[in-house]
Structure 1
């Protein structure tokens, strides 16, 4: 949400989403940067956004606004500071050091955007550089630009990069979010990309319009059949009383299936809670 838009900041309080990114970068004109920074920091201190994680995307390293953005936002103490175009483990460590020097509370984590070929090739190093880094965010628009690729249905030009990013995030044990879908009027294309992102293994999707929230929640929420099966697996496992291997609907169930079932139910409960809060 653009932090320069007061109506957008107010609308954000009602959205059934897990997290909000209040933007100081691309969505804010140069002459509005300072006012947007102040508005975003006020929002972070307000406590008016409920259970949603409130994050602020600052301007990138090397821009005229970066240093002051980081100092002000760290002091405001949002749930996370989102930094675009993070390209190396050294940059992560430098950002974390700057956050700490500016007095960021311990609960304020770092979200790093992965947007360049170099970052893709160093994802595991970036993700592992600090415990304070909690989330990777795919910057697919910039990645397409850097690759001289094209936006096409199915995202074939990006699949190698998306796969490498997922591997790096999972190796480091970090959350990773899929990139945005630009055409807010193309519902069919958006839902197809959400489904693809879920199938690839992304934990969620970043969005550019409130109208995309419901579709993303539906796409990433487990189906009723998946929820029923997960509950059955956990019940069979519990009934097995730690025997190590049980069966459910004729299939052998092991620890890995139990972990997957628990994740399905966690996702189901999270989406249900989001929708209940917004209703």
Structure 2
């Protein structure tokens, strides 16, 4: 059988734990966590007079490189601030997998950082992620995502931030997030139109795992790739809910096997168990199988 997924590039982003860069104890525990990535926060969770200490903590952390295959993303302060400029210098020194920009509202916010990275010859693997967390950010999501299609833009993912969006729109925090869903779907649509990953917002009450699981289930159904987390207790349910469904993976493997048969190689539509399957379904099947295989390999390495 042809291995369709060999050339598919995917990366699990089911669980991205936000860790305050000022919290040394939390930073030391990163190597023990089963999350797909960590967002090392220099912004909201760090008090103004602790920003310098937080940067020092991250400099030491990256010297030890405790990430073990987890993605490492540094969330900086706005580049218009003194702290934001110092944060970006730290990013250039540490070279994480990505830099996460807060409150992105227009393409220029992406281009400004991408230009600075290019000027300093930062490696291409250093990507830019964007927090979409303001009314302008949501309204301009498509034009911001379009920045991914410009040379060296580096844009790889959106992270939706509902706490700031609620604050600026005065939408209350209600179960089900019903009044926020249209805006969330707008961000998902923009991300998908331009080939970006998109990460769901944090769930604030880490003690209410049932409510968190409901948000995970909803986010998965809405098309999000994973969720930003605030507590290690949220990692397992996020990994479970955003992992490829077993039945869907089995069907994807069957689709790939069917199209790999000699008699199907030149067909665009085949009959599989009484269902008409188009070749366009192969792309999604490849992605699903590749994702499942990567997750399985990660589990095998930890056992």
Is 1:179 the counterpart of 2:201? The answer is yes
Report if the CA contact (8 A) 1:237-1:253 is conserved: no
Q: Which residue of 231, 245, 256 corresponds with 2:269? A: 245
Unaligned runs of 5+ in 2: 1-18
So what's the TM-score if we normalise by structure 2? 0.87
Residues 1-279 of structure 1 correspond to what in structure 2 (within 5 A)?
Answer: 1-130=19-148, 131-239=153-261, 240-279=264-303
Corresponding residue for 2:11?
none
- 1:152 Cα deviation from its structure 2 partner: 1.4
- 1:277 Cα deviation from its structure 2 partner: 4.0
The CA RMSD measured in Å over matched residues stands at 1.7
- 1:246 Cα deviation from its structure 2 partner: 1.2
Q: What are the Cα deviations for residues 94-139 of structure 1, in whole angstroms up to 9, with x where unaligned?
A: 1212233445332211111000111111112112224311111111
After TM superposition, the runs of 4+ consecutive aligned structure 1 residues lying more than 6 A away are none
Unaligned runs of 5+ in 1: none
- 1:216 Cα deviation from its structure 2 partner: 0.5
**Distance (Å, rounded) in 2 between the aligned partners of 1:236 and 1:138:** 38
Q: What are the Cα deviations for residues 31-83 of structure 1, in whole angstroms up to 9, with x where unaligned?
A: 22111112213323433311111111111233341111112222321111111
Corresponding residue SS for 1:22:
strand
Q: What are the Cα deviations for residues 144-194 of structure 1, in whole angstroms up to 9, with x where unaligned?
A: 111110111221111111111111111111111111111101111111111
Across the two proteins, how many residue pairs are aligned to each other?
279
Corresponding residue SS for 2:143:
helix
- 1:236 Cα deviation from its structure 2 partner: 1.3
**Distance (Å, rounded) in 1 between the aligned partners of 2:59 and 2:276:** 52
Report if the CA contact (8 A) 2:30-2:66 is conserved: no
So what's the TM-score if we normalise by structure 1? 0.94
**Distance (Å, rounded) in 1 between the aligned partners of 2:279 and 2:63:** 42
Residues 46 and 102 of structure 1: CA distance in aligned 2, closer, same or farther (over 3 Å): farther
